[in-house]
Structures are given as structure tokens and as C-alpha cells.
Amino acid sequence: MSVRSPLRPAGGILKPVETAGPPPEPKRRPRLRIWLSKEPLVHFLVAGLALFLLHGLIAPDDDEATRRIVVDRERLLNYMQYRAKVFEPVGFGRALDALPKPELDELVADYAREEALYREAKAMGLDRNDDVARRRLIQQLEFVARGVAAAEANPTEAELRAFYAARQGAYRVPAKVTFTHVFFNGERPGAEARARSKLAELNRTRTPFHAAVAHGERFLYHLNYVEKEAEEVASHFGPAMRAEVFAFEPDSHTWRGPFRSPYGFHLVLLTQRTASHVPPFEDVRSQVEQDARQAAEAADYEKSIGAIVAGYDVEVVGALRRTGSGAP
């Protein structure tokens, strides 16, 4: 977050001023204010305070003593967002305004029902010493913390490039191959010999990619494999044949083989192979930005929660106290 410099006189020229004492020191932005502007935890606490004040402003008419439930647009809007676990006031406002009368009446009834049950449960003291209520309060606080962290996550161009440089392996594109094959069932006698005879025929007639379907026997999986990664090829043909297919150079006119798989013998026409590579930053910028934002959100969230926990002294007492791992 940038810090605005103190205002200067127009023209940038300081004229001498007659004074009986030493000239006044230029105003400096208080260090506390600078720290507040840079501290995510403060933003989190401010956001929580804002939500608390907002609730106080919109709910003063709900007098539990008179058993009165007030339903207005703001309450319904908050109700919708909490149910969806997404805070988008503009989008939910449009959705609320567009609701047909029957659906609006149903939403009002749902809100009133939940509010009435909440008040009765609270009046009965069910919110005290209740693990479910405790968990929901924790979840609400975590939700607010995540929302503040998301608002703070706005990496610069330089930060995006640094993020990409440090994690290039995550954006590596695996090697891929495109090929077709002619299959001979290994359970039938003479399968390998028939495959070798067919190999000579295919190369003699220069059988093209699209004509492979007219030769060989039906395979369990596919006939043509277009831009497939090593993992998928291995799952269909086994690791040994995968290694062989990825090893030789593409040639649209030369059939190779026979290669052995767990199912039999294959003649392969490899037409394309792309090596594994890391794409340039510009090609994956949108993905890098998304990943960098998520990483920043997670870091800010953990920092905020960690600061809250650090504000408490944790004391382990009784039988739980240990002098070492596993020691009584």
C-alpha cells in the first residue's frame, strides 16, 4: 500500500518565513498511521468492527421482548449472502430485486422462521457451552478473515513474475505424442509373425494415418491417440511401450514395431511429438495471477489468524504436561 507524501507548497519552493524561534519541522505522517495502513490484521479487525456496527444499525428495531421480527431489504440481502457463503452485494441485490412475488414471500418466510428459531434457542440458553454454536462462531470469524485476505491480495506485475520464476515447474507442459496403431491380439497363435508381415505391407503401401482402421484387430481402448501424455499412453499400453513410443522421432510415412503391450503386439505410426517445456510467462499469465492471488490470500489469512492466537497465553496443565515426547 502506497503512502502519500506530505503536501508541499505550490511550485515546490519553500520561501523563508521570519520567526522568533527555529523554523517548524515539516509535518510527517505518524508512524502509527503508516503501520496501520500496512497491517492486514488491522484491516481484518476494522472489517469485523464494521460488520458489528452495521448489524447494530440495521437491527435496532428487532425487539426480542416484544417478539417482533423486522424484515427489510438489507436483512434479506445479508441472509442470502450468508446462506450462499459468498459476499457480492451488487450481484445478490440484483437477484433479490428480480425475485418474483411468490419466491420473495418464500424467502421472507425462511428468514422469519430462522430468526424465530434462533431467538428461541438463545432464550433457552442453547448457545452456551454448545460445540455446534461454538464452531459456527469460529467459522464466521474465519469467513470474515478470508474475505479481508481476498480483498488485500493484489499482486503487482513484478510480484507475479517473481512468483512464476520461483514455481516454473508447476507450469511445465508435459511431453505429448500423436499416433495411430494396428493391433494384433497376443492370445492368438502367430500374433507377432502376423504383425511383422503387416508392418512390411504398411510401409510398402505407405498406409496413411487415417487408413489404420482397415488393418489389424480391434483394440480394447482407442485406435488414434492425439496429443496424449505419457501417463495415459502407459495406462493403455504399459510403461515399456510408452518408453519406446516417446523415444523415436515422428515420421508420417514410416510404421514401426511390433511393440509388445500386455494385450499383444502393435504397429505404430507416430506423426507428432512435442517435448516437455515451460511456457513463457505471457502464455500462462492468467493462471499465474490466479495462483499468486490464492497464495497471497492464504498467507494473509494465516497471518491474521496467527496474530489473534498469539494474543493469548496457552497454558497446558495437569496430566497433559510432558517433559518430552511420550514422557509421563
197 and 284 housed in the same domain: no
Query: What CATH code is carried by the domain that includes residue 269?
Result: 3.10.50.40
The 3-class secondary structure across the chain, one letter per residue, is: CCCCCCCCCHHHCCCCCCCCCCCCCCCCCCHHHHHHHHCHHHHHHHHHHHHHHHHHHHCCCCCHHHCCCCCCHHHHHHHHHHHHCCCCHHHHHHHHHCCCHHHHHHHHHHHHHHHHHHHHHHHCCCCCCCHHHHHHHHHHHHHHHHHHHHHHCCCCHHHHHHHHHHCHHHHCECCEEEEEEEEEECCCCCHHHHHHHHHHHHHHCCCCHHHHHHCCECCCCCCEEEEEEHHHHHHHHCHHHHHHHHHCCCCCCCCEEEEEECCEEEEEEEEEEECCECCCHHHHHHHHHHHHHHHHHHHHHHHHHHHHHHCCCCCCCHHHCCCCCCCC
Residue 22 has pLDDT above 70, yes or no: no
| Reported pTM | 0.54
120 and 63 housed in the same domain: yes
Domain hosting residue 123, numbered range: 32-152
Residue 209 has pLDDT above 90, yes or no: yes
Q: Is residue 320 in a domain? A: no
**What is the per-residue pLDDT for 47?**
56
**What is the per-residue pLDDT for 160?**
95
36 and 147 housed in the same domain: yes
87 and 227 housed in the same domain: no
Q: Is residue 7 in a domain? A: no
Q: Is residue 322 in a domain? A: no
231 and 261 housed in the same domain: yes
Q: Is residue 316 in a domain? A: no
Q: Is residue 305 in a domain? A: yes
Number of domains in the chain: 3
181 and 120 housed in the same domain: no
User: pLDDT digits over 56-106, tens only?
Assistant: 444 444 455 567 889 999 989 888 988 887 778 888 899 999 999 999 999
pLDDT tier for residue 150 given thresholds of 50, 70 and 90: confident
241 and 119 housed in the same domain: no
User: pLDDT digits over 295-328, tens only?
Assistant: 999 999 999 888 888 888 878 777 666 555 444 4
54 and 127 housed in the same domain: yes
